[in-house]
Amino acid sequence: SKHSTGRINRAHDRFEKSTVSLVEVRGQFHEDDELSVETFYETVSAAGLEYGPGFRCIQQLWQHSREILARLELPSELEYESKRNAIHPALLDACLHAVFADIHRTSDPQRVFLPYSIERVRIYRQPRRTVWSHVRVTRSDEQYICLDTTIFDEGGELVAEVLGVTCKRLGGSGLNLSERLYEGCYEYNWTASPRDADVHGRNFDYTTAALIVPDGQDPGDAELVDTLAMRLDKEGVRPV
C-alpha cells in the first residue's frame, strides 16, 4: 500500500542564500536560554518517539522566544558512513527535531508532530561530525508547526537551508482525552441477529460428541444437557 508520495524539483531552485552568520545567531541566545538536553529527549520519549543513540545528536540546546539553537554531533560510529551522504540522515533529522523544544515550552509536550511537507532545501557543503542548527518557528497551533532551519558547520560556514518545513500533529497524541480520539478511526459495533441454519451452518467435521454432566444438584444442569443433546442431534452429531 502507498503511504506517501513526494516531488522534488531541482531545475528552478532559485532562492537567495542566507546571509546570517553563526556568530550573529549565537549572539541572540544567552546563558539563561539553555535547556537540558537530557530532559528534552526524556520528554520526547514520553510522547512516544523513541530516538535511539544514533539519532540523539543534540549536545546543547537553547531557546529564545520562538527560535531554537542546537549544537549537534554525529556519533563516531556513524562518521564513516556519513561520507556517502551530503548530510547524514540522523544528523539532518536531529537538526529538525530540535523544534520539539518549542512544543515542550509553549504547547502540550505529549503532542507529536511529524514532517508533512518541505518547500525548499539547499545543501552547500558536506559537514563534518559537528554542526549548529538554527530553527525559527513560523507557525504553531494545535494541528501544525512550521519552521525554517539553517545549518552551519563548526567553523561557521553555511551547510544547508531547509525552509518551509510543515509538521502535522499525529492523530491521537496529546494529554487531553478528546485529542486522543482519532477522528479517522473505525471501531467494531456488533449487533445481535437471529440464527439462520442456511447462514450459520455447522463448521465442524466430527460426528460424535461427549457431553460431560456436572455432579452438582442444580436442576438446570439436566435441562442444559438435554438442550445441547437436541442441538447436536439436529446438526448430525451423536451425543454420548
Select from 131, 134, 99 the least CA-distant residue to 28: 134
Q: Does residue 124 have a pLDDT over 90? A: yes
User: In the prediction, which pLDDT does 203 show?
Assistant: 60
Q: Does residue 158 have a pLDDT over 90? A: yes
Which residues fall within 8 angstroms of residue 162, CB to CB, at 6 or more apart?
92, 95, 96, 118, 120, 121, 148, 149, 151
Q: What is the mean pLDDT of residues 138-147?
A: 93
Range of weakest confidence among 32-36, 64-68, 209-213: 209-213
Residue 57 to residues 131, 168, 182, Cα–Cα distance (Å): 10, 23, 32
User: In the prediction, which pLDDT does 228 show?
Assistant: 82
| Tens digits of residue pLDDT in 182-203 | 455 566 677 887 777 666 666 6
Q: Does residue 173 have a pLDDT over 90? A: no
Copy the grid coordinates of residue 49: 518517539
Full-prediction pTM beyond 0.85?
Answer: no
Yes or no: say if 146 and 166 are a contact pair by the CB < 8 Å rule: yes
Q: What is the mean pLDDT of residues 7-21?
A: 74
Residue 124 to residues 81, 84, 159, 198, Cα–Cα distance (Å): 19, 16, 5, 71
Q: Does residue 154 have a pLDDT over 70? A: yes
Q: Does residue 234 have a pLDDT over 70? A: yes
Percentage of the chain lying above the pLDDT 70 cut:
80
* Higher local confidence (pLDDT), 173 or 218: 218
Select from 119, 229, 110 the least CA-distant residue to 179: 110
Q: What is the mean pLDDT of residues 46-70?
A: 95
Mean per-residue pLDDT of the chain: 85
Residue 183 carries which side chain, given as an amino acid letter? E
Range of weakest confidence among 19-33, 36-50, 186-200: 186-200
Yes or no: say if 124 and 160 are a contact pair by the CB < 8 Å rule: yes
